[in-house]
Structure 1
Amino acid sequence: MQPNQVLTYCNVMELLVAQEVHRQLQQLPPKLVNYINPAHAIAYALNRLPALYATSPRGWYLQQQRAKAKLAPQIIVAVGQALAAVQQDSLNMVNSLPSAENAENLEESASDVDVEQAKSSDFSLSWVRSLFGLGGIHKADGRRSR
């Protein structure tokens, strides 16, 4: 791999989980939905499901078909558990990761100890900027979807 080579890959599971979170949120009472951060539920569910990465439109399609055929019940259960967990979890009131516009503030708001520890272990917080700089999932035609 060359140093400046841009890698393009997407986890198909992210989109499928986000869709399922949205679907299940529509079934909940509106007052309850106001207390749920969908990003927390998505992250919770994704951490309990296998990743399904694709590097091409064909791979994206095949991974989606695989997930829908074999993993749909697991996705539904994981999202249900995620929604229950974030409702009960007091951590859902903690600040979320910054949006793309505010990603630069993450490093500034971290404690000096955390920043020094991260630097000493050759860990860079630039992954946050990279992650939020993606701006969504890239469709096969090059457009971004949110």
Structure 2
Amino acid sequence: MSSCRNALEELVIEEAEAQYKRLGADVKKRVDLSEVIAYTLNRLPPMYATTQRGWVQQRKKAEQELGAAIAKTVRNGFLSTQSDVLRQSDPIPDHELISQARSLFKLRKLFSKDYLKWKDVPEIVQDALNSGYYQSLSNGTYVSLDRRNSLLARSYAVRRKTTTTLSNSSKTTKTEKDISAELKDFESYMSGTIYRYSNILESLVNAIVERRALRLDENVQQKVNIDDVSAYVLNRLPPMYATSRRGLQNLRQKVKSEMTSQIISIVKEALNKVVQAPERALSPLPFEKFNIELEDSLVQLRELLKRDDITWRNIAEVVEECLRAPRSDYPTWRAKHDV
């Protein structure tokens, strides 16, 4: 649901991180920020948006009306979620934490790059293939983090220099204001990717909406934006953020036993409202442009790696698999590098 996001998440994360910095070392050891964030979000009204205008409005409303409530609930979250450091970990499964931004975060870890955007991925993969810095891994040889970075540094630096030169000579050079706005949008896009929490209602509601929409007349279906319907529904249900496997199971059982009819009723209401609403040309979420870069990168990577099965869901795993493969398996890459 990249085009449907809870605008409150980023504000809660910022407040949780700010309060965490002020905690003592002993307390920090007993705190899991993911749990604090989920605790807070579960006690505040959801504020999902699907357009740039909606995102700005929801953020402004949250800042003006919920600022004090966010700070207070985060403080309570730190007190309520502190745990015994010896408590057995029961993390939420990885397959529950899927999004385009989280896939990019995986690639960041793979290449040890703190700042990596989708448009940079094809070139950095090519650099990695040419340098062969993953080849030793396929033979079971350890490669230190410093060694990995040094193997990529030269080609990456050359590419940055070339890109900067082209950018500076362009007639459409971005102003500092444009760059600042893009950085802010990118931070929003990546917000939360380092934490392990998920509103279990998002995938459930989206699935119900899609099934219900298929029952509509084909001409009507074309007028329905699934994300708009999902946002309408999610903003009228209590948020259910989970951070553990047990929490996930408990919340799903609660939905199944207590909320199914309520969700279906709200979905029907949402579909009627969306279908009857006049069509408007509205800009998507401000960070949706990064998913457009993702689609372009997928096209390039499918050609580069000769893998038509690459999607945003498996991109990190497929890239690592290809980097570990013997270079002799890919004569095209070797030929390019030898030229």
The one of 99, 115, 118 equivalent to 1:133 is: 99
Per-residue deviation at 1:32?
A: 1.7
CA distance in 1, matches of 2:52, 2:11: 16
Scaled by the length of structure 2, the TM-score of the pair is: 0.29
Q: State the TM-score, normalized to the length of structure 1.
A: 0.64
* Change in 2 beyond 3 A, CA 1:39/1:26: same
Give the aligned CA root-mean-square deviation in angstroms. Answer: 2.7
Q: Does structure 1 retain, via aligned residues, the 8 Å contact 2:40–2:73?
A: yes
1:79-110 per-residue CA deviation (whole Å, 9 max, x = no partner) reads 111111111578x75322134xxx2xxxxxxx
Q: Where does residue 97 of structure 1 map in the other structure?
A: 92
User: What amino acid does structure 2 have at the position aligned with 1:132?
Assistant: I
Deviation at 1:7, TM superposition (A): 7.1
User: Would the alpha carbon gap of residues 37 and 10 (structure 1) be closer, same or farther in structure 2, given more than 3 Å must change?
Assistant: same
Aligned-pair CA distance for 1:24: 0.6
- Distance in structure 1 (CA, Å) of the matches to 2:74 and 2:35: 11
Residues 56-90 of structure 1: CA distance to partner in whole angstroms, max 9, x if unpaired? 12211111110110110110111111111111578
Name the aligned partner's letter for residue 140 of structure 1.
P
1:76 paired with 2:74, answer no
- For 2:75 and 2:32, the matched residues in 1 are separated by 14
Q: Which among 285, 290, 298 is matched to residue 143 of structure 1?
A: 290
Give the count of matched residue pairs: 110
| Compared CA separation, residues 89 and 134, structure 1 to 2 (3 A) | farther
Alignment of 1:32-51 (within 5 A): 32-51=27-46
Q: Which has the higher helix share?
A: 2
Q: 1 CA distance for matches of 2:84 and 2:40?
A: 14
1:135 CA drift (Å): 2.7
Aligned residues with identical type, % of pairs: 28
Instruction: Verify: 1:26 aligned to 2:172, yes or no.
Output: no
Distance in 2 (CA, whole Å) between partners of 1:132 and 1:84 is 29
**Which has more radius of gyration?**
2
Aligned equivalents of 1:83, 1:132: Cα separation in 2: 26
Pick 1 or 2: higher relative contact order, CA cutoff 8 A, min separation 6.
2
Task: Show structure 1 runs of 5+ residues with no match.
Answer: 1-5, 104-127
